[in-house]
Structure 1
Amino acid sequence: MQAMKSLFVCSFLFSFLSISTTTTLDTITQSRSMRDGETLVSAGGSFQLGFFSPGSSKGRYLGIWYSVDIETVVWVANRETPLGDSSGVLKVTEQGVLVLLNSTNRIVWSSNSSTTAGNPVSQLMDSGNLVVKDGNETNPDNFLWQSFDYPCDTFLPEMKLGWDLVTGLERYVSSWRSKDDPALGEFSLRIDHRGFPQAVVVKGAKIVASAGSWNGLHFTAYPYPQQTRPNPTLEYEFVLNKDEIYYEYRLSKRSTFSRYILNPAGIAQRLTWVHQTHSWELSSTFQADRCENYAVCGAYASCNMNVSPLCACLKGFVPKSPKEWNSGYWSDGCVRKIPLACSSGDGFLKYTGVKLPDTSSSWFDKSISLKECKGLCLNNCSCTAYANLDIREGGTGCLLWFGKLIDIREFTPGGGQDLYIRMAASELDQIEKKSKFNKKKLPGILLISSTLFLLGTLIIGLILYRRKKKLRSQGVRSMDCRKDCLGEDMGLPLLNLTTVAKATNDFSVKEL
């Protein structure tokens, strides 16, 4: 009994020590480094830091991955300079710099901290953020360095996507070169802060897709309000002030894992971990259809996936290159039928349920009303459109466009937002007259269509009735043919069997 009790105590102590060791292995210090084969585990157990070789690659990289799925790497330190063997060592210097050394103690990668600390340590947070800080410092603003400032292909919760305008630091997501090579790929997901900021996917310096600008609830490329999104565990925030411009999302439940990735093909995807199946489920994909390709229809045109062809010139505009437009090449876009007069005679045509145009050549003001916004646009010859900056509470703020309107998309009723496009007064008159004519004409068209349909139905019914009656009459005559066809109606005599037998000598063949 005593032996069993001792065994139980030893087992308990062993389990306790194991748990204690695990919970404290989230930090390295000047006296405790980390070698290839060892890992750091965040305090809550969500993430691990260690060395790995992706896919078929033989190179060794220092990276962070999910504990529930060690093959899902979310950050790589030495993505451009892999180690050739398993001799890598991660250390923290006296100056508070994180360094990765190879077998010859040469620095392969290091953090770039500009400040120092008296007692520097590096800690893996349960958010997946690897930080360098001074001792027990908990304020992120005072961290010496953090991996969240240098994302790779994964955009994690609590990570900022955007700009620190004070230091000039840009935080952006960049794709891997391939699934076996974490080096910098061709595509990146950024916040373009020219004009009013918008989220874009770029290839090199060229925009290939745009999620649009932030309208207070969501990016304008998404037609639905944020509160109706299928996953209520996600909380979104867009910050725009003199010091910062960034987009961030958070998870309301720590037990939930969700991430955005930019794959080597430049496709942005959101994936959610499903505990029951131990796998990642695709929740959404950006660039899921052709209308999400940047400026696919060119200037002054809209894209609509529910019609064919999907590109159409806006009202009052015609294709710039009609031959190419009709052949399905829409990039040249459209031009105005009637040039703007640049006077008070110009007006605005309202579009509803659209993704707002590219905002890189726009101007905004958070405080003025939509009416004041209209006046500002009308008084500036270069202004081509205006809209509310924020759609919450009935709409606030002002957003003005200057130059061509590019990358507009139409959504089904109930989605998108309002956009007011500047038009010449004479063009507006023509559009209004055409609209009134169509409204007046519509009841007549409906009446004529209904009458023709009813008349056609009656004619077809009458034809079918007469045909059916004729067929029925023919059927009765066939049944009475023994009486009518062989009797007086045909003018033939009726002979009995005795007369026929006598005439043929009882049907003798010889007589025939």
Structure 2
Amino acid sequence: MQAMKSLFVCSFLFSFLSISTTTTLDTIIPSRSMRDGETLVSAGGSFQLGFFSPGSSKGRYLGIWYSVDIETVVWVANRETPLGDSSGVLKVTEQGVLVLLNSSNSMKWSSNSSRTAGNPVSQLMDSGNLVVKDGNETNPDNFLWQSFDYPCDTFLPEMKLGWDSSTGFDRYVSSWKSTDDPAPGEFSVRMDRRGLPQVVIMKGAKITARVGSWNGLYFAAYPYPPQTRENQILGRKFVLDKDEVYYEYRLLNTSIFSRNMVNPSGIVQRFTWVYQRHSWELSYTLQADRCENYALCGAYTSCSINVSPICACLKGFVPKSPKDWNSGYWSDGCVRKIPLACSYGDDFLNYTGVKLPDTSSSWFDKSRSLKECKGLCLKNCSCTAYANLDIREGGTGCLLWFGNLTDIRQFTSGVGQDLYVRLAASELDHIERKSKFNKKKLPGILISSAVLLVGTLLIGLILYIRKKKLRNQGVRSIDCTKHYLGEDREDME
């Protein structure tokens, strides 16, 4: 596979070199700039940096693309300030700042490094990261600036999605306005830091879909079983501490190209490069069905794509607006049948295999046990549910919800998590009695059904035999009549 990757990269580089006036190496320095028509090529040949015009646009942009597919641009510098012609120049200053100049030597874009370097170098890494650093520095923490801190519509391996808690710096992915305009569009993929951090997809300031919180193995909305191809080619990492909260992934096989992107319509997709077909294969789409729409069913509901209707109230709850609910408008959600009794007389109903609710109004503690978690929830009248924070090693940590529970999904493939929803004890007793009653009735229903089936078969068999017997008797009667009439005819003659 590595040899095949190198072959494709080399063939594309050769074809690109044939149409480009000049191609530099992977770095530029203050004494050597890069003009439109020239490119930087990463040391391993995976990525190129150069000027391009997207779609039908006549504007010129500085961007990074794959060497195997020059049409797939993964990062753009001057997203909102295109150049009007092909006279653009990229330079790195003596202070270590990247600047993009037009024909009149006016600056159209620059990196915003606050630090300076004695020997500044700008280098295109084989990860697709454009960096500015001092000399031969290799520690990313010491880079003056890097494009990975400013993603566009593509989330690449080794990028971080999330926050630097100490500075408030936010790394997020934002869509293009259109296929012809790389300016930031309406949609973004971000880390929501409220409560337990979770990844959300937003349209402006409104959440449209929720990838969910991290449970130690995967995000709540996308529980990949261990044997899936995704887990065989990707290594995932989630960091949550006092300094940072972020998610990143890496390719376990470096000969593979894989990328996540949010398109101008707000759909998040993963693509993997297939060398044999020389094209991108769609690995998955995050918003694959209606249950992925954020809070489609409203509060205290669950969504299951395999049943109809797909929305259902949680046990112990009823539709807030029955008329709207019955007409297929579920956004108002459900309300409790019986109010909570606070710390006296409340208990919990366990839901298994679910996508955990929105964690923006939650609290968590990594050291608490599940039993302690239940006790903490009962002591707080506003607590509505609890669950394990981490599902590894049988489950550890405590996660509490306060207020409404929204955006729950019921999985059917043996994945998902346990969620304990708070109910009044009387309501829980009613649910348990009903469940036991149904369990007791089940054997009787099965026996009655079996007796009815056997009885129906016996009656059918008796009727069939009787009908056949009557038919045979009828045939014999006809034969006798014919015989009698025959003898009379002979006597008359």
TM-score (norm 2): 0.93
1:387-402 aligned within 5 A: 387-402=387-402
Q: Name the CA distance, whole Å, in 2 between partners of 1:187 and 1:353.
A: 30
- Cα deviation for residue 459 of structure 1 reads 1.8
Partner of 1:34: 34
RMSD: 1.9
- Cα deviation for residue 305 of structure 1 reads 0.7
Q: Name the CA distance, whole Å, in 1 between partners of 2:471 and 2:178.
A: 75
Q: Name the CA distance, whole Å, in 1 between partners of 2:365 and 2:274.
A: 43
Partner of 2:270: 270
Contact 2:28–2:91 under 8 Å retained in 1? yes
1:500-511 aligned within 5 A: none
* CA deviations over 1:223-264 (Å, ceiling 9, x no partner): 334554555011001000000000000001211000001011
Partner of 2:97: 97
- Cα deviation for residue 464 of structure 1 reads 3.2
From 467, 489, 493, the counterpart of 1:493: 489
Partner of 2:404: 404
SS of the aligned residue for 1:259 comes to: strand
Q: Name the CA distance, whole Å, in 1 between partners of 2:247 and 2:345.
A: 40
Unaligned runs of 5+ in 1: 1-14, 500-512
- Cα deviation for residue 488 of structure 1 reads 1.6
1:124-143 aligned within 5 A: 124-143=124-143
Q: Name the CA distance, whole Å, in 2 between partners of 1:422 and 1:85.
A: 64
Task: For 1:494, give the aligned amino acid.
Answer: E
Partner of 1:223: 223
Tell which deviates more after alignment, 383-392 or 54-63: 54-63
Structure 1 residues 217 and 467, CA gap change in structure 2 (3 angstroms) = same
SS of the aligned residue for 2:460 comes to: helix
Partner of 1:420: 420
SS of the aligned residue for 2:232 comes to: coil
Contact 1:345–1:424 under 8 Å retained in 2? yes
Partner of 1:10: none
- Cα deviation for residue 470 of structure 1 reads 4.4
Unaligned runs of 5+ in 2: 1-13
Partner of 2:324: 324
- Cα deviation for residue 458 of structure 1 reads 1.9
Structure 1 residues 474 and 184, CA gap change in structure 2 (3 angstroms) = farther
Q: Name the CA distance, whole Å, in 1 between partners of 2:228 and 2:320.
A: 39
Task: For 1:157, give the aligned amino acid.
Answer: P
Contact 2:23–2:40 under 8 Å retained in 1? no
SS of the aligned residue for 1:494 comes to: helix
1:194-205 aligned within 5 A: 194-205=194-205
1:460 matched to 2:460? The reply is yes
SS of the aligned residue for 2:489 comes to: coil
SS of the aligned residue for 1:426 comes to: helix
- Cα deviation for residue 439 of structure 1 reads 1.2
Q: Name the CA distance, whole Å, in 1 between partners of 2:224 and 2:474.
A: 66
1:340 matched to 2:313? The reply is no
Q: Name the CA distance, whole Å, in 2 between partners of 1:470 and 1:189.
A: 79
1:88 matched to 2:88? The reply is yes
Q: Name the CA distance, whole Å, in 2 between partners of 1:56 and 1:475.
A: 88
Contact 1:187–1:202 under 8 Å retained in 2? yes
Partner of 2:354: 354
1:79-478 aligned within 5 A: 79-226=79-226, 228-471=228-471
- Cα deviation for residue 432 of structure 1 reads 1.2
Structure 1 residues 176 and 329, CA gap change in structure 2 (3 angstroms) = same
Task: For 1:154, give the aligned amino acid.
Answer: T
Q: Name the CA distance, whole Å, in 1 between partners of 2:354 and 2:408.
A: 7
Contact 1:224–1:416 under 8 Å retained in 2? no
- Cα deviation for residue 77 of structure 1 reads 0.6
Tell which deviates more after alignment, 377-386 or 455-464: 455-464
SS of the aligned residue for 2:237 comes to: strand
SS of the aligned residue for 1:114 comes to: coil
- Cα deviation for residue 440 of structure 1 reads 1.1
Contact 1:221–1:355 under 8 Å retained in 2? yes
- Cα deviation for residue 487 of structure 1 reads 3.7
SS of the aligned residue for 1:493 comes to: helix
- Specify the structure having the higher radius of gyration (Cα): 1
Structure 1 residues 468 and 154, CA gap change in structure 2 (3 angstroms) = farther
Contact 2:199–2:212 under 8 Å retained in 1? yes
Contact 1:218–1:225 under 8 Å retained in 2? no
- Cα deviation for residue 450 of structure 1 reads 1.2
Contact 1:487–1:493 under 8 Å retained in 2? no
Contact 1:24–1:43 under 8 Å retained in 2? no
- Cα deviation for residue 436 of structure 1 reads 1.2
SS of the aligned residue for 2:38 comes to: coil
Task: For 1:460, give the aligned amino acid.
Answer: G
Q: Name the CA distance, whole Å, in 2 between partners of 1:70 and 1:258.
A: 15
Q: Name the CA distance, whole Å, in 1 between partners of 2:302 and 2:467.
A: 53
Q: Name the CA distance, whole Å, in 2 between partners of 1:491 and 1:57.
A: 108
* CA deviations over 1:288-311 (Å, ceiling 9, x no partner): 000011000000000001110000
Q: Name the CA distance, whole Å, in 2 between partners of 1:45 and 1:151.
A: 21
Task: For 2:149, give the aligned amino acid.
Answer: D
Partner of 1:4: none
Structure 1 residues 83 and 465, CA gap change in structure 2 (3 angstroms) = farther
Q: Name the CA distance, whole Å, in 1 between partners of 2:67 and 2:306.
A: 43
Task: For 2:202, give the aligned amino acid.
Answer: V
- Cα deviation for residue 120 of structure 1 reads 0.8
Structure 1 residues 81 and 450, CA gap change in structure 2 (3 angstroms) = same
Tell which deviates more after alignment, 229-238 or 315-324: 229-238
Q: How many residues align?
A: 474
TM-score (norm 1): 0.89
Contact 2:154–2:173 under 8 Å retained in 1? yes
Partner of 2:10: none
Task: For 1:342, give the aligned amino acid.
Answer: C
- Cα deviation for residue 53 of structure 1 reads 0.7
- Cα deviation for residue 453 of structure 1 reads 1.4
- Cα deviation for residue 472 of structure 1 reads 5.5
Contact 2:224–2:230 under 8 Å retained in 1? no
- Cα deviation for residue 433 of structure 1 reads 1.0
- Cα deviation for residue 180 of structure 1 reads 1.2
Partner of 2:55: 55
Structure 1 residues 425 and 490, CA gap change in structure 2 (3 angstroms) = farther
* CA deviations over 1:58-82 (Å, ceiling 9, x no partner): 1111100000000000000111111
Task: For 1:184, give the aligned amino acid.
Answer: P
Q: Name the CA distance, whole Å, in 2 between partners of 1:465 and 1:97.
A: 99
Q: Name the CA distance, whole Å, in 1 between partners of 2:346 and 2:32.
A: 72
SS of the aligned residue for 1:39 comes to: strand
* CA deviations over 1:319-377 (Å, ceiling 9, x no partner): 00000000000000000000001123111111111000000000000011000111100
SS of the aligned residue for 1:185 comes to: strand
- Cα deviation for residue 95 of structure 1 reads 1.4
